[in-house]
Amino acid sequence: MDPIPRPATTWRFSVAPMMDWTDRHCRAFHRTLSRRARLYTEMVTTGAVLHGPRERLLGFDPAEHPVALQLGGSEPAELAAAARIAADVGYHEVNLNVGCPSDRVRDGRFGACLMREPARVGACVAAMKAAVSVPVTVKCRLGVDDQDPEAALDALVAAVRAAGADAVVVHARKAWLQGLSPKENRDVPPLDYGRVHRLKRANPGLPVAINGGLRTLEEAAAQLAAVDGVMLGRAAYADPALLLGVDPLLFGAPAPVPDPFAAVEAYAPYVAGRLAEGVRLHAMTRHMLGLFNGRPGARGYRRHLSTAGTRPEAGLGTLREAVALVSREEGREAA
């Protein structure tokens, strides 16, 4: 893939940061499907950035741009230092996680629990803004536990706006740190898109993007009447061919490739390059399992990648064998 120039900053459409999913191989694959979508890393803690293996944690292909690093942390000085590293290695944006409800973030005083500390979040954003020239953004929830979403979200956004945040992405659900698992927190708390729409109306000069429960590009496009951007997570990951419609529908630009078959060939040079470096095929193809969902032969494609594709000797030919099992004729696979 050839690198593309970084476009003017926009949060019109992005793929959500997702732990264990949106790694560098996933992002390189998604970039073959959309040239305009904004891509995010998995959340990386400040401790890992400052003291861990940076190339493994922060490495990315230049063709991924526009790509953002999501940070987890709550100490302004540490976040500023991590943001500076991110900008130096070439990330286009640094995003602060104020929405993750996992046990890990509860123990570490970051993620969604920071919804209770808007002043601290504001201080973190201010420190990051002072350290870098790239955009600094925040991803948050409506609130946590028994917080009133009206007051909690307004307080958080007022603090980060005053600190100079360039945009806010809101997952339109509360997070329940007591009583729900991280998985349940993705589905059980009810969605409240109207609350995010009210936030945007109250902050006309602040870019606001919405996340949570959106499953189609048509749903995403409808949200753009009320907010500045939309972020899709599991829908984009489980059905990556959906991303082929992003550039035409949301940006008025042609898709980079005409169909999922062409997407595989566009991704092939990246796969070959990583295989030569010793990366296992499955590390890349696990992000492609849903590419042909609904087409005749999709089940066989997934099965081949899940069996032959996991073997140590699996290579680019294994991927092409799997693709050959999929019909190029339009149609739906029988359930």
Confirm whether residue 200 is marked as ligand binding. no
Confirm whether residue 234 is marked as ligand binding. yes
Confirm whether residue 179 is marked as ligand binding. no
Confirm whether residue 183 is marked as ligand binding. no
Residues 156 and 4: their CA atoms lie apart, in Å, by 35
Q: What is the DSSP letter of 78?
A: H
Confirm whether residue 233 is marked as ligand binding. yes
Confirm whether residue 1 is marked as ligand binding. no
Confirm whether residue 128 is marked as ligand binding. no
How far is the CA of 232 from the CAs of 20, 97, 123, 184, in angstroms? 16, 16, 28, 18
Q: Among residues 275, 263, 256, which one has the least CA distance to residue 239?
A: 263
How far is the CA of 248 from the CAs of 15, 35, 63, 255, 320, in angstroms? 16, 10, 19, 6, 27
Confirm whether residue 212 is marked as ligand binding. yes
Residue type, 297: G
Please compute Rg for the chain using Cα positions: 20
Place of tokens 């100490």: 75
Residues 161 and 293: their CA atoms lie apart, in Å, by 41
Residues 85 and 197: their CA atoms lie apart, in Å, by 34
Confirm whether residue 178 is marked as ligand binding. no
Considering the candidates 26, 100, 113, 140, report the single residue annotated as catalytic: 100
In contact, 26 and 18? CB cutoff 8 Å: no
Q: Does 100 participate in catalysis according to the annotation?
A: yes
**DSSP element (H, E) containing 97:** strand 93-98
Residues 120 and 114: their CA atoms lie apart, in Å, by 8
Cα atoms found within 13 Å of the Cα of residue 282, Cβ hemisphere only: 13
Q: Is the dihedral of CA 67, 96, 286, 291 positive or negative?
A: negative
Q: What are the binding residues for FMN?
A: 17-19, 70, 139, 171, 211-213, 233-234
What are the catalytic residues? 100
